[in-house]
Amino acid sequence: MDVMVSPSVITLNGTSAKLTCTFNSCYDVNAKKISLNWTYQECDNCTEDQFFQFRHKVIIPRTERFWGRVEWSGNLIKNDVSVTIHDIQFSDEGFYNCYVLNPPDRHKGLGTIYLSVVTEVATERDSTVAVIIGASVGGFLAVTILVLVVVKCVQRKKKQEQQSEDQKTEEEGKTDGEGNQEEDEK
């Protein structure tokens, strides 16, 4: 039995939170045999308070904390045993445990979700603009460096060619126009 949950859920105070819990079993789901429990723990070592059960049908125990705020959101045909808690309060922050047993499976599956309650949900930053700007600047710098390297190479080649011509001119200066060496004394 494998139980899948999101390890953490962040929700806004006063809103609803769906606690999604799904499972895989080697056996077909039989609504008359499957059992599941949802429990709440304020802290990791605190006692668990059961606030939802399924035994042949949905059973919501009368609890002080969750009474009137828990709703079945699952679908047994799809192996979904999720619940939704409405009007989330700061006092609802804590660990939520999803226990599933689908006989003839022998082992109960467990998934734990940590629910964080906040006053405002942090907005996700869209980094697309930053990536475009960074890529543009990086591309511009790469092209600039490439141009500078090419210019430097061209200048160096021209300098070498000019030095070669100067050497030829010096050597030609030592000869007259017909290739005969000029005499210094005439």
pLDDT given at position 174 = 64
Class of residue 83 by CB neighbours under 10 A (exposed 0-12, middle 13-18, buried 19+): buried
Say what percent of the chain tops pLDDT 90.
53
Whether 181 has a pLDDT exceeding 60, the answer reads no
Helix or strand (DSSP H, E) at 55 = strand 49-55
**Phi, psi of 77, deg, nearest 5:** -60, -30
What's the rounded mean pLDDT across residues 42-61?
A: 92
Consecutive H or E run containing 113: strand 109-118
> Do β-strands 109-118 and 94-101 pair in parallel, antiparallel, or remain unpaired?
antiparallel
Q: In terms of pLDDT, which residue wins out, 35 or 159?
A: 35
Q: What is the pLDDT of residues 120-150, one digit of tens each?
A: 766 666 677 777 787 787 777 777 887 887 8
Q: Which of 53, 70, 60, 65 is nearest to 16 (CA)?
A: 70
Q: What is the pTM of this model?
A: 0.64
Q: Among 38, 11, 12, 15, which residue's Cα sits nearest to residue 86?
A: 15
SS3 at position 51: strand
Question: What pLDDT, on a 0 to 100 scale, did the predictor assign at position 51?
Answer: 95
Give the start-to-end residue ranges of the domains of the chain.
2-118, 124-167
Pick 2-118's CATH classification: 3.40.50.300, 3.40.1360.10, 2.60.40.10, 3.20.20.70.
2.60.40.10
